């Protein structure tokens, strides 16, 4: 096997090393195929970071959702986020576009992959790790006019990522401000909690769930496409320390993909549309299956899946 600056990755992941060596083999002659491997490299590395951080997925997240979650939790800094997104976006383009990808895209991705690999080993690997000097595999340089065309597209793509990153920053700041305002303005005793309605109301609306009523401990939502008597279409947002929604137990039973992600049944008097558990021949509190989440994106993903399950009952 030929020498590569990526040999250090083999000590941490044989999969990463195999993907990046394949990327280098394809770089000059088949840049589009190379970028497909770059995309897989990014996905694999993000999954490894999730595992290192013990970030359980309540719902199978897409690649961009995972990267956003890592950024929102301050696990990856701005520059690492940008490099992950550059590889993801151009990797997706390589998969879907019919024409051959510009070599300059793959060359830039090569350096970003190196930077990501070094960052990962420095953070999660050995403190004694000394990164090799970056080096692009030797090959002839492209004609200047090809490079100019690539630079236009490259700058456009980078601008998109910068805008995306800025939106994420603003969302983080807004969430922080909202939490501070709640602490400062709401006269709630320390032992009491409140339903985080303001923080998540728009996400429910976006996923087609309408707010029906609120109590001190719950907010009741119903999917807009189903009738008032369809109890399975209701979802409750609780006042838990960890953001939590509760789903109708019979809906969970009809959907294995939801059942696998759901926690053990939770009893709560505020789940008025849900059935009551029978214990010792006596009806106890209403109950359902809780799902916890960390961000609006995770909540939206769960709600969309619930909507899909509701629709599937009639197909």
Split at pLDDT 50, 70, 90, the class of 280 is: low
Task: Examine the pLDDT at 189 and tell me if it is beyond 70.
Answer: no
Place of tokens 């590395």: 45
What tokens were used for 307? 């909507």
8-state DSSP, 132:
P
Q: How far apart are CA 276 and CA 52, in angstroms?
A: 40
What is the average pLDDT score of the chain? Answer: 82
Task: Examine the pLDDT at 191 and tell me if it is beyond 80.
Answer: no
pLDDT reported for residue 141: 47
pLDDT reported for residue 195: 82
Phi-psi region of 246 (alpha: psi -120 to 50; beta: other; left: phi over 0): beta
Task: Examine the pLDDT at 39 and tell me if it is beyond 90.
Answer: yes
Question: Rounded mean pLDDT of 106-123?
Answer: 93
Sign of CA dihedral 225, 231, 235, 238: positive
CB neighbour list of residue 188: distance below 8 Å, 6 or more residues apart: 194
More confident residue, 262 or 212: 212
Q: How far apart are CA 87 and CA 112, in angstroms?
A: 8
Question: Rounded mean pLDDT of 294-314?
Answer: 88
pLDDT reported for residue 198: 87
Backbone angles phi, psi at 281, to 5 degrees: 60, 20
pLDDT reported for residue 188: 44
What tokens were used for 31? 């840049």
Percentage of the chain beyond pLDDT 90 is 35
Q: How far apart are CA 209 and CA 220, in angstroms?
A: 10
CA–chain centroid gap for 110, Å, is 24
Record the pTM: 0.50
Task: Examine the pLDDT at 137 and tell me if it is beyond 90.
Answer: no
Split at pLDDT 50, 70, 90, the class of 193 is: low
């Amino acid at each position: 096997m030929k020498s590569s600056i990526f040999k250090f990755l083999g000590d941490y992941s044989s999969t990463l090393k195999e993907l990046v060596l394949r990327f280098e083999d394809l770089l000059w002659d088949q840049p589009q195929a190379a970028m497909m491997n770059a995309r897989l490299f990014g996905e694999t590395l993000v999954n490894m970071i999730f595992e290192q951080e013990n970030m359980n997925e309540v719902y199978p997240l897409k690649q961009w959702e995972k990267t956003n979650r890592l950024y929102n939790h301050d696990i990856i800094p701005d520059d690492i986020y940008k490099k992950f997104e550059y590889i993801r976006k151009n990797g997706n383009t390589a998969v879907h576009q019919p024409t051959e990808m510009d070599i300059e895209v793959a060359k830039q991705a090569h350096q970003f992959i190196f930077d990501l690999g070094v960052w990962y080993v420095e953070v999660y690997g050995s403190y004694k790790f000394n990164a090799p000097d970056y080096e692009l595999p030797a090959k002839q340089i492209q004609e200047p006019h090809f490079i100019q065309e690539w630079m236009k597209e490259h700058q456009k793509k980078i601008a998109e990522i910068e805008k995306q990153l800025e939106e994420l920053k603003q969302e983080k700041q807004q969430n922080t401000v909202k939490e501070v305002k709640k602490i400062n303005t709401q006269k709630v005793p320390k032992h009491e909690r409140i339903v985080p309605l303001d923080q998540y109301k728009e996400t429910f609306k976006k996923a087609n769930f309408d707010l029906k009523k609120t109590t001190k401990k719950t907010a009741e939502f119903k999917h807009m496409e189903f009738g008032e008597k369809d109890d399975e279409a209701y979802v409750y947002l609780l006042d838990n320390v960890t953001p939590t929604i509760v789903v109708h137990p019979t809906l969970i039973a009809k959907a294995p993909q939801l059942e696998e992600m759901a926690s053990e049944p939770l009893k709560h008097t505020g789940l008025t549309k849900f059935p009551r558990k029978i214990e010792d021949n006596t009806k106890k509190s209403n109950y359902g299956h809780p799902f916890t989440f960390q961000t609006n994106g995770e909540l939206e993903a769960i709600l969309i899946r619930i909507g899909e399950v509701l629709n599937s009952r009639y197909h």
